[in-house]
A and B are shown apart, each in its own frame.
Chain A
Amino acid sequence: MNKIIAMVRKELIDAARDKRSVMAGLYYAIGTPLIMCGLFMVLIGQLTSPDDLKISITNPDKAPDLVRFLSNKGITQGEAGAKDLKAIELIISPDYAKQMNQGKGAEITIVADNSEEKLQNSIRRLEKQLQAYSAEMGSLRLIARGIDPRVVQPLKVNVHDQATTDSKGGMILGIAIFTMIYSVFISGMNLAIDTSAGERERNSLALLLSHPLTTRQLVLSKIIAVGLFALLGLVLILLVSKVAYTFVPWQELGFSVSITSEFMALMLLVGIPVALMAACLQLFVSFMAKTFKEAQSYLTMVLFVPLALSMAASYNIAPDVLQWLPVSGQQQALMDFIKGKDMNMLQLLVSTLGTLAIAVILALGMEKSLKSEKVIFGL
């Protein structure tokens, strides 16, 4: 046991010496939440319709009442060329008053590009207000004819939305959890390569093995060192996320995203087996590769698998079976937790055990392979 501790210390000192490559992994943990929040802030600003929506209105004098109604709803005639003028044109037919007086549909045309994402909310808002105006006039016309307007609303549809303000942010949270799991894989990756393929290239691996150590002790200590780094990355991203996410005005989209202390504790707990598996996987692949460079390219490919699992779960495109698999199972449980649903403990247990099983198999495989000179000398 003492030997393992000594070895782990040695690995960490080694890692600390090569700050640049190792820190590269941790930069991810710090930078990702910041970049995501920055992007969301910009996005929310663009997607939400401004309080004061400026559009071009043609023939406003044909329907002054409608124009005033819209302006009360914050939709007004903008000045041509002004910066805040949206590319939406509302054309009021020159025959508007005539059609109105005859009780026919008075023509209004909206000219806009519906594929322009930044405009969609504003277009929808304009349509909604025109509908509201139309419905209101319809009701008053009925009243003027002695009919209760309720009779033309035969259905009264009640919606009981089961979402909470937290669960409405589920998509965003899915992505957030995905970045956290990703950080577990990314943070320790450079260290894993450095401590395996790197050590071999520096010819210190053989030296290490010549000490009175069992291969198992060597493998275990490397796994622990890499795993610790992975968890360090996780802790960092959790702390940064907790602070950064509060700055985004999510409420403008109608939901809230908050990283609670309970969630952070759970994420860490769930993250431990994932970190172990990530460490084993990365070390195993690196040892299999012949050179440092090769290890880098193999790892990039191999890492795609757990990340695909995680992403599938976060976008809810996963078939049910994914809920039982490693990584995606944990991700699912975390998402349920943050949405305030009951976690399926059995699924979490199965996927966690699966994760640990993979880690053990890989560790045993590594232990076995390190007994072969082919692997030790990279032949």
Chain B
Amino acid sequence: MIDSMIHRKSHNAGACVAIKCSNTGWHKRISTSKIISLSTLMLAMASATVWASDKPTPPTPPTNTCYVDGVSDRLNCGFVTVPENPNKPDGKQIQVHYVVLPAVKNANHEEALLAIAGGPGQSAIDNAASFNTMLNKVRQQRDILLIDQRGTGRSNLLNCDAGPQSLLAFNDDNVDSLAEAQKCRDQLTGSDVTQYGSLNAVKDFEAVRAHLGYKKLHLYGISYGTRMAQLYMRLYPEHLATVTLDGIVPMQQSVLEIGSAIERGFDLLFKDCQETAACHAEFPELKAEFDQVVARLTEGPITEQVHDPVTGEKTLLTLTRAKFYGAIRMALYQTNVRALVPHAIHQAAKGNYQPLLGLYALTTDGAGMAMGMHASVVCGEDIHRITPAMREQAKTSYVGKTMLDSLEASCSVWKVPPVDANFSEPIKSAIPTLLLSGEIDPATPPSWGELAMEKLTNAKHLVAPYATHGVAYQSCANNLIAELVRTGSVKDLDGECLKKDVRRSFYLNASSVEPLATEDATQSSKDKPKDKPSTGAKE
């Protein structure tokens, strides 16, 4: 019964983002280290991913048939071996694993669609099921290629494991970020963590393309994956047919600027609730209640006896401000979970933390993210771009500040040299490019998509008014991608279908989204379709 929901969630799993991953997953792994939970809460905020497998999958031999979680079809798997450091071709070698979801009826053997996962740190192969569902129409005629980027999944995973530890009871307010980062770094002694940035990874992708013999690739990048796609456009444009960027991180932008995007996501939620008759009637003081809970948590964490969401055993919950923000923030990634947030805030204000516990449980799985690789990327490509002005700006938001602090601690341990300044230049290209943004995206707002458009001469930016992060998973945009792949042109793509009202009604209590049919409520539910959408569609 739950199955389909899980699947649905898992769709978004692919959608993790640049810094944040989109999905709440239901897979919880307590083995995440403190650093993870810390930087997770902050930067990577990793939420979690759904399809992360509990056991590391054993490496597969070169091109072979195999199966992955959630896809029943026979797939082709394999790996290419590349030097960890391209400047030391004889040094340590790592395997970059890939999986091909074969086309149902292959119309063009020389092309494939490469889908790139977010994070940074998510495994594309672990998210195969969600990619498979979302790209179903593309797959009817083209192979879908998934590559575990170096440092993620099966490709020399850089993750940290601090052993079992109860995340519920753990107080993340007083953690020594520096010590935790060092502990994590010590687990990765076999690898040169400075070699796991996006530029090396793009070279790996190109090596896989050449190995498999595809002449042209269509790209689909989600979240941080859009940065990889843009780099591919910059470095190997001759091998690209079309590009789709979904939940866009423009090259000019440091992912650390996500702080203001998160604030915006919270504000949009309050606004949405206020403008929806039933929600406003039920939770008229939502914003005030939220502030009230934050104020309470600012004084110190709340500890309470609860039942563990999974085991059902009595356990201690230490609710900190970071956990509260984290749980709500991750809930905003998916429209269906987002619908529960006003109820959760309202209950928390009344002293009932059960709904919040449920939401928090969804985020405790750092498993979707390879935190070591995550730090390698962010420390090399983003942290040096922080200007004093941005630092000031970050201090105004709790999430922005904590995120920055913990990342700076990680990066002081990681010691990744910063990329060249030209890394941050906008991509100049005439490759047909479709850009997708969700208006209520709490990670990569539509304005970021506009930035990425700057020097793209053959591109179209569509904004889905009711989508969060990962537009293709929540709307008809996956059909637009199929059309783009088929026609090879963005000219005739019509984003009209994105404007369809697919909002999810807010939960009014723990059971229902529909207001009770009193005279009044009937009236309000009739008014509902006329409610002004929180945002207009724009192109």
Give the B-binding residues of A (Cβ under 8 A). Answer: 61-65, 68-69, 71-72, 96-98, 100-103, 128, 131-132, 134-153, 158-165, 250-252, 254-256, 258
Contact of B74 among A100, A136, A144, A164 (CB under 8 A): A164
Cα-based distance from A136 to B26 in the complex (angstroms): 13
**A153 with B6: in contact, given A62-B514, A97-B516, A141-B510 (CB under 8 Å)?**
yes
Residues of A within 8 A of B401 (CB): none
Beta-carbon contact of A138 and B309 below 8 Å: no
**A64 with B104: in contact, given A100-B511, A103-B511, A153-B2 (CB under 8 Å)?**
no
Contact of B140 among A103, A151, A159, A251 (CB under 8 A): A251
Shortest Cβ distance from residue B537 to the other chain A in the assembled complex, whole angstroms: 15
B513 interface contact, C-beta 8 A? yes
Cα-based distance from A54 to B339 in the complex (angstroms): 27
One digit per residue, 1 when the CB lies within 8 angstroms of any chain A CB and 0 when it does not, for chain B 283-309 equals 000000000000000000000001101
Contact of A136 among B73, B336, B357, B528 (CB under 8 A): B336
- The 10 A-B pairs with the shortest beta carbon distances in the complex, nearest first, are A143-B358, A146-B354, A159-B72, A100-B512, A65-B505, A251-B105, A144-B510, A97-B514, A148-B309, A132-B4
Residues 78 to 114 of chain B near chain A (Cβ within 8 Å): 102-106
B359 closest partner in A (C-beta): A143
Q: List 25 A-B contacts (CB under 8 A).
A: A62-B514, A63-B514, A65-B514, A68-B505, A69-B504, A71-B501, A72-B474, A97-B516, A101-B509, A101-B516, A102-B511, A135-B3, A137-B513, A140-B340, A140-B507, A148-B26, A148-B28, A149-B26, A153-B1, A153-B2, A153-B3, A160-B74, A162-B74, A252-B140, A256-B104
Residues of B within 8 A of A139 (CB): 2, 5-6
A256 closest partner in B (C-beta): B105
Beta-carbon contact of B140 and A72 below 8 Å: no
B267 interface contact, C-beta 8 A? no
Residues of B within 8 A of A102 (CB): 511
Q: Could you say which of A69, A131, A148, A158 has the most chain B C-beta atoms within 10 Å of its C-beta?
A: A148
Beta-carbon contact of B354 and A145 below 8 Å: yes
Beta-carbon contact of B362 and A143 below 8 Å: yes
Beta-carbon contact of A142 and B358 below 8 Å: yes
Beta-carbon contact of A136 and B507 below 8 Å: no
B521 closest partner in A (C-beta): A97
B310 interface contact, C-beta 8 A? yes
- What band does the interface of chain B fall in when counting residues whose beta carbon is under 8 Å from A? 35 or more
A144 closest partner in B (C-beta): B510
Residues 301 to 354 of chain B near chain A (Cβ within 8 Å): 306-307, 309-310, 312, 336-337, 339-340, 343-344, 353-354
Cα-based distance from A98 to B355 in the complex (angstroms): 22
Cα-based distance from A62 to B515 in the complex (angstroms): 9
Cα-based distance from A160 to B68 in the complex (angstroms): 9
Residues of B within 8 A of A161 (CB): 72-74
Contact of B5 among A68, A132, A144, A255 (CB under 8 A): A132
Cα-based distance from A103 to B353 in the complex (angstroms): 20
**A72 with B500: in contact, given A146-B307, A148-B361, A251-B140 (CB under 8 Å)?**
yes
Known: A64-B505, A145-B358. 6 other contacts (CB 8 A): A64-B529, A135-B3, A136-B336, A140-B337, A143-B361, A161-B73
Cα-based distance from A117 to B1 in the complex (angstroms): 27
Cα-based distance from A96 to B514 in the complex (angstroms): 8
Cα-based distance from A251 to B142 in the complex (angstroms): 11
Beta-carbon contact of A100 and B513 below 8 Å: yes
Beta-carbon contact of B507 and A144 below 8 Å: yes
Residues of B within 8 A of A165 (CB): 102-105
Shortest Cβ distance from residue B190 to the other chain A in the assembled complex, whole angstroms: 31
Residues of A within 8 A of B102 (CB): 165
Beta-carbon contact of B337 and A135 below 8 Å: no
Contact of A71 among B2, B67, B140, B500 (CB under 8 A): B500
B27 interface contact, C-beta 8 A? yes
**A136 with B8: in contact, given A144-B344, A148-B309 (CB under 8 Å)?**
yes
B526 interface contact, C-beta 8 A? yes
Beta-carbon contact of A138 and B2 below 8 Å: yes
B361 closest partner in A (C-beta): A148
B475 interface contact, C-beta 8 A? yes
B425 interface contact, C-beta 8 A? no
B389 interface contact, C-beta 8 A? no
B33 interface contact, C-beta 8 A? no
Residues 482 to 539 of chain B near chain A (Cβ within 8 Å): 500-505, 507-517, 521, 525-526, 528-529
B238 interface contact, C-beta 8 A? no
Cα-based distance from A258 to B107 in the complex (angstroms): 12
One digit per residue, 1 when the CB lies within 8 angstroms of any chain A CB and 0 when it does not, for chain B 377-394 equals 000000000000000000
Cα-based distance from A144 to B28 in the complex (angstroms): 17
**A152 with B1: in contact, given A97-B516, A146-B307 (CB under 8 Å)?**
yes
Beta-carbon contact of B2 and A152 below 8 Å: yes
B69 interface contact, C-beta 8 A? yes
Beta-carbon contact of B512 and A132 below 8 Å: no
Cα-based distance from A137 to B361 in the complex (angstroms): 17
Shortest Cβ distance from residue B512 to the other chain A in the assembled complex, whole angstroms: 4
Cα-based distance from A145 to B507 in the complex (angstroms): 13
Beta-carbon contact of A97 and B4 below 8 Å: no
B336 closest partner in A (C-beta): A136
Shortest Cβ distance from residue B302 to the other chain A in the assembled complex, whole angstroms: 14
Cα-based distance from A272 to B340 in the complex (angstroms): 70
Cα-based distance from A258 to B103 in the complex (angstroms): 13
Beta-carbon contact of A160 and B67 below 8 Å: yes
Residues of A within 8 A of B474 (CB): 72
Beta-carbon contact of B357 and A158 below 8 Å: no
Beta-carbon contact of B504 and A68 below 8 Å: yes
Shortest Cβ distance from residue A92 to the other chain B in the assembled complex, whole angstroms: 10
B39 interface contact, C-beta 8 A? no
A255 closest partner in B (C-beta): B104
Residues of B within 8 A of A134 (CB): 1
A131 closest partner in B (C-beta): B4
Beta-carbon contact of B344 and A150 below 8 Å: no
Shortest Cβ distance from residue B215 to the other chain A in the assembled complex, whole angstroms: 21
Contact of B72 among A137, A150, A160, A164 (CB under 8 A): A160
B141 interface contact, C-beta 8 A? yes
Beta-carbon contact of A140 and B336 below 8 Å: yes
A95 closest partner in B (C-beta): B517
Shortest Cβ distance from residue A128 to the other chain B in the assembled complex, whole angstroms: 8
B343 closest partner in A (C-beta): A144
Beta-carbon contact of B67 and A145 below 8 Å: no
Residues of A within 8 A of B509 (CB): 101
Residues of B within 8 A of A136 (CB): 4-5, 8, 336
A257 closest partner in B (C-beta): B105
Residues of A within 8 A of B69 (CB): 158
A76 closest partner in B (C-beta): B500
Contact of A144 among B355, B475, B516 (CB under 8 A): B355
Beta-carbon contact of A149 and B67 below 8 Å: no
**A150 with B514: in contact, given A138-B5, A140-B507 (CB under 8 Å)?**
no
Residues of A within 8 A of B28 (CB): 148, 150
Cα-based distance from A140 to B336 in the complex (angstroms): 8
Beta-carbon contact of A148 and B358 below 8 Å: yes
Cα-based distance from A150 to B515 in the complex (angstroms): 28
Beta-carbon contact of A64 and B525 below 8 Å: yes
Beta-carbon contact of A135 and B67 below 8 Å: no
Cα-based distance from A256 to B105 in the complex (angstroms): 5
Beta-carbon contact of B511 and A101 below 8 Å: yes
Cα-based distance from A313 to B306 in the complex (angstroms): 63
A248 closest partner in B (C-beta): B105
One digit per residue, 1 when the CB lies within 8 angstroms of any chain A CB and 0 when it does not, for chain B 358-369 equals 110110000000
Residues of B within 8 A of A71 (CB): 500-502
**A146 with B502: in contact, given A160-B67, A251-B104 (CB under 8 Å)?**
no
Cα-based distance from A256 to B103 in the complex (angstroms): 9
Residues of B within 8 A of A152 (CB): 1-2
Beta-carbon contact of B72 and A149 below 8 Å: no
Beta-carbon contact of A68 and B358 below 8 Å: no
Beta-carbon contact of A158 and B67 below 8 Å: yes
Cα-based distance from A150 to B514 in the complex (angstroms): 25
Residues 228 to 267 of chain B near chain A (Cβ within 8 Å): none
Cα-based distance from A147 to B73 in the complex (angstroms): 33
**A68 with B340: in contact, given A148-B358, A255-B104 (CB under 8 Å)?**
no
